[in-house]
Amino acid sequence: MDYMEPITAYVHFPWCLKKCPYCDFVSFAKAREAIDHRGYADAVLAELRKRAEALGERELRSVFFGGGTPSLWEPEEMGRVLSAITAAAGRLSPDIEVTVECNPTSLDEQRARAFRAIGVNRLSVGVQGLDVERLRFLGRLHDPDGGLGALSAALRSGMPRVSGDLIYGVAVGTADEAREQRPEHAAAEARAVASTGVTHISAYSLTVEPGTSFGELARRGRLPLAADEGVADTFFAIDEALEAAGLAHYEISNYAKPGHEARHNLGYWQGIDYVGLGCAAYGTVSRPDPRWGLRAEGSGEALALRYRNVVSPDRYMAVMAEGGEAIPVESDERLDPETRLSERIMLGLRLREGFDLEAAAAALGVAAWPAARRRAAERLERAGRLEVTGGRLRVPRAAWVFTDGIAADLF
């Protein structure tokens, strides 16, 4: 691997005003005034000092503040963290992207301007829907006007890039009498969000995850669920609506005007390393600093490590405040080249353009076409679910709803 390759940074902010019943990200409900804004920033800065070597010789492509609800974080404290991250980088990409995830209840024009003033150039707003009943079912604290209003406020602030998130495939009512969102209604919501002038939209189907409130209701047979066929129809209805609005469907769940693709997420899909900072943050770094003291065994040119910081914000801040050498890591694992290639297949196939399997395999020093993968690719080609051009693989748009299974067949 070329150690001068790009790298990205992710900062996790763990607090929300309310935990949504579908969310499986690490977040804790807390009032804004009860959050230790400065203490958490100090902790992240302390961790950054210990991980700075991972950034020091590489071009920083993006910084992403996720959560939780990072728009709750006081901009002054977020600004300290952002300044330190960019200072630690060996060099900055000329078009570095800095994103903050936002909920409508914690974003107005003044706050958007404050984020812009500290160097943020992209806001991602969790609109999630424009139907009162579905928003209530999803546990959202805002109404439809609140979601659209937050997008408008972000745009009025002069923020260069604004994205809106939507969730589709949501049924309400009871498990026995589920009322599904109709494809034409989902498409109308997508058009309404696009009409605000945003340059990017993410549209995700509702996924019921274990360990969430929805997951428990589903386990007990009490959660209204949309039928797979209706969800697939909705996927294509949104696709048609947003393509007509000038937003290209560049990744299974993402649409953008030309040049406004999410550069941070593209890094994940393209297999670029990322440094994770903050409690519960994940990171994946090739050739990490040996002073990190991670437990994973192994060394050598192909070494890559994935780590996860401790989940508890209190423990994370306490360890960082102690000032020792330790980083509060909850888990870590060594990623061998075959594992990394499987991840490149899984993520790369999500992109409209697909990815170059042979180039990825060569960079990792493994075979691109073992016999089983070649047979699987040929079978998928015959079924119309995969296109192979030289060493490049892509899933035709008509088969995008099957991408996860297609990728698994190629592992």
CATH number where 180 lies = 3.20.20.70
Closest listed residue to residue 318, CA positions, set 69, 27, 40 = 40
Flag whether 133 is in a domain.
Answer: yes
**pLDDT score at 328:** 86
Flag whether 255 is in a domain.
Answer: yes
366 is in which domain, residue-wise?
338-410
**pLDDT score at 288:** 63
Burial class (CB in 10 A: 0-12, 13-18, 19+), 53: middle
pTM (two decimals): 0.94
Cα separation of 345 and 339, whole Å? Answer: 10
Burial 82-101 (b: 16+ CB within 10 A, else e): bebbbebbeeeeeebbbbbb
**pLDDT score at 201:** 98
Write out the two tokens for 245.
């609005």
Instruction: Tell me: do 220 and 350 sit in the same domain.
Output: no
**pLDDT score at 57:** 81
Flag whether 29 is in a domain.
Answer: yes
Packed helices 357-364 and 337-348: angle between N→C axes, nearest 10 degrees = 160
- Whether the CB-CB separation of 93 and 59 falls below 8 Å is answered with yes
Cα separation of 228 and 407, whole Å? Answer: 19
Neighbours of 285 (CB within 10 A): 23
**Phi-psi region at 300: left, alpha or beta (left = phi > 0; alpha = psi -120 to 50):** left
Taking 3-state DSSP, the helix, strand and coil percentages for the chain, each rounded to the nearest 5, stand at 40, 25, 35
Instruction: Tell me: do 129 and 209 sit in the same domain.
Output: yes
Write out the two tokens for 107.
């974003």
| Ranges of the chain with pLDDT below 70 | 1-4, 287-303
Of 211, 243, 267, the residue at which a domain comes to its end is 267
* Number of domain units in the chain: 2
Neighbours of 141 (CB within 10 A): 15
| Sequence-distant (≥ 6) Cβ neighbours of residue 6 within 8 angstroms | 58, 59, 60, 61, 93, 267, 272
Flag whether 321 is in a domain.
Answer: no
Block residue for tokens 């002054």:
76
**pLDDT score at 143:** 96
Return the H-helix or E-strand segment holding 286.
strand 282-286
Neighbours of 209 (CB within 10 A): 12
- Please report, for residues 74, 126, 193, 248, 312, the alpha-carbon distance to residue 243 in angstroms, rounded to integers and kept in the order given: 36, 21, 13, 5, 42
**pLDDT score at 200:** 98
Closest listed residue to residue 345, CA positions, set 381, 321, 324, 373 = 373
- Please report, for residues 42, 43, 183, 321, 330, the alpha-carbon distance to residue 39 in angstroms, rounded to integers and kept in the order given: 5, 6, 46, 9, 21
**pLDDT score at 399:** 95
Flag whether 139 is in a domain.
Answer: yes
Of 210, 235, 267, the residue at which a domain comes to its end is 267
**pLDDT score at 59:** 94
Write out the two tokens for 33.
């005034």
- Whether the CB-CB separation of 123 and 112 falls below 8 Å is answered with yes
Of 242, 267, 292, the residue at which a domain comes to its end is 267
Burial 247-283 (b: 16+ CB within 10 A, else e): bebbbbbbbbbeebbbbbbbbbbebbbbbbbbbbbeb
Flag whether 326 is in a domain.
Answer: no
**pLDDT score at 291:** 58
Instruction: Tell me: do 241 and 350 sit in the same domain.
Output: no
Instruction: Tell me: do 104 and 203 sit in the same domain.
Output: yes
Flag whether 258 is in a domain.
Answer: yes
Instruction: Tell me: do 254 and 366 sit in the same domain.
Output: no
Flag whether 331 is in a domain.
Answer: no
Instruction: Tell me: do 259 and 342 sit in the same domain.
Output: no
Instruction: Tell me: do 235 and 362 sit in the same domain.
Output: no
**pLDDT score at 176:** 86
Burial class (CB in 10 A: 0-12, 13-18, 19+), 214: buried
**pLDDT score at 286:** 84
